[in-house]
């Protein structure tokens, strides 16, 4: 029986830049940051209090997935407040928060242009 989502991959072009964005801008915590081969690292980050992690890495041959919509939905306590806080930090919102059939939500992008849903 499946009980939870353990980790989700986020395809990035520059692991350090991605790590800086997810920790410094979004406030995620580092779960793992270890060498992986000669040129890569295995980096996992997570929102505070979350067991689900994001693996910031791009497997060879999947570079075309960098900067796309990955289908990840992030939840926050207050959508408008989070939107305003992230915008003040320079986060780009291709879709500002608005009422949708499933409830209020917006979309934001990371440093590589990967786009995510944000909802309360």
CATH 3.40.50.720 fits 67-120, yes or no: no
Q: Please choose, from the candidates 55, 60, 66, the residue with its C-alpha nearest in 3D space to the C-alpha of residue 39.
A: 60
Q: Give the right CATH number for 7-59 from 3.40.640.10, 3.20.20.210, 3.10.180.10, 3.90.1200.10.
A: 3.10.180.10
Per-residue pLDDT band for 10 (boundaries 50, 70, 90) equals very high
Q: Which residues contact 106 (CB under 8 A, 6 or more apart)?
A: 79, 83, 93, 95, 96, 97, 98, 117, 118, 119
Note the pLDDT of residue 70. 87
pLDDT digits 0-9 by tens, 31-86: 999 999 888 899 999 999 999 999 999 999 999 999 999 899 999 999 999 999 99
pTM: 0.93
State yes or no: pLDDT of 94 exceeds 90: yes
């Amino acid at each position: 029986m499946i009980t939870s989502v353990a980790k989700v991959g986020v395809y990035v072009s520059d692991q350090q830049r991605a790590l800086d964005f997810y920790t410094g801008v979004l406030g995620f915590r580092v779960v793992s940051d270890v060498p992986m081969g000669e040129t890569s690292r295995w980096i996992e980050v997570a929102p505070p209090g979350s067991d689900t992690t994001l693996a910031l890495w791009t497997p060879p041959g999947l570079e075309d997935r960098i900067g796309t919509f990955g289908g990840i939905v992030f939840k926050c306590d207050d959508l408008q407040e989070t939107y305003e806080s992230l915008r003040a930090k320079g986060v780009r919102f291709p879709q500002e928060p608005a009422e949708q059939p499933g409830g209020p939500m917006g979309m934001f992008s990371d440093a590589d242009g990967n786009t995510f849903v944000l909802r309360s």
